[in-house]
């Protein structure tokens, strides 16, 4: 009986092709890139180039990576579907995390609102929004991010939304309740939440 040859690049290409409307060569390169990323555990392109297989030189892989990222574009909804397919988070319902990360690049504020899926002690980012400002997000920005999730996965895939005390406001909490999204959130002791299943901590 002939042994089955395990080809991780081919297997990953088949998964990627289900979600990305790209030509075969582009999907093949993305598959190689992702496998190299797992292998070298670095986002430095020079290091990633050493993780590619085949007969091509490392310098050739490096130049290919540069060209790829100059024109890299992916539909956010497709990316979210692909992520939950690649990472074994299951079919849900999931524990979602809402967080904001902010840092400065020179004089520029990089402020990102991120919605993730809690998985083995980490948050897998599935949707995010660059706020284009310093400081906290507002209710409209949070709602818009959540609506993107609901449009792709639906409310039934949410077990609970976990968020810190930064994400407060009557309109925000009422919106979550209206969408029947359970939430566990740190809030101030004088915050009133009119429902018996959300408690003040």
Q: Which pLDDT score is estimated for 125? A: 93
Residue written as token pair 């299943």: 197
pLDDT, averaged across the chain: 86
Q: What percent of the chain has pLDDT over 70?
A: 91
Read off the pLDDT of residues 60-79 as tens digits, 9 standing for 90 and up. 889 989 988 887 788 889 88
The two three-digit tokens of residue 4, written as one number: 């089955």
Highest-scoring range by mean pLDDT, 13-17, 78-82, 153-157:
153-157
Tokens of 182: 């359970």
pLDDT of residue 18: 87
Residue the block writes with tokens 């959130």 = 185
From the number of C-beta atoms within 10 Å of its C-beta (0-12, 13-18, 19+), residue 112 rates as middle
The pLDDT value recorded for residue 22 is 84
Residue 190 pLDDT exceeds 90: no
Q: Is the pLDDT score of 136 beyond 70?
A: yes
**Which domains are present in the chain?**
8-74 (no CATH), 91-185 (3.30.420.10)
């Amino acid at each position: 009986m002939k042994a089955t040859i395990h080809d991780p690049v081919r297997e990953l290409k088949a998964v990627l092709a289900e979600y990305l409307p790209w030509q075969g060569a582009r999907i093949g390169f993305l598959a190689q890139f992702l496998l190299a990323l797992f292998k070298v555990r670095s986002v430095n392109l020079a290091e990633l180039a050493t993780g590619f297989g085949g007969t091509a030189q490392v310098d050739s892989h490096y130049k290919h990576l540069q060209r790829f990222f100059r024109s890299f574009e992916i539909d956010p909804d497709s990316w979210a579907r692909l992520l939950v397919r690649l990472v074994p988070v299951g079919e849900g319902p999931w524990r979602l995390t809402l967080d904001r990360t902010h840092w400065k690049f020179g004089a520029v504020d990089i402020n990102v609102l991120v919605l993730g899926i809690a998985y083995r002690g980490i948050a897998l980012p599935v949707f995010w929004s660059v706020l284009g400002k310093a400081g906290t997000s507002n209710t409209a920005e949070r709602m818009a991010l959540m609506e993107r999730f609901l449009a792709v996965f639906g409310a039934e895939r949410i077990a609970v939304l976990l968020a810190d005390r930064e994400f407060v406001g009557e309109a925000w909490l009422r919106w979550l309740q209206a969408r029947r999204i359970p939430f566990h959130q740190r809030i101030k002791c004088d915050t009133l939440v009119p429902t018996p299943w959300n408690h003040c901590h």
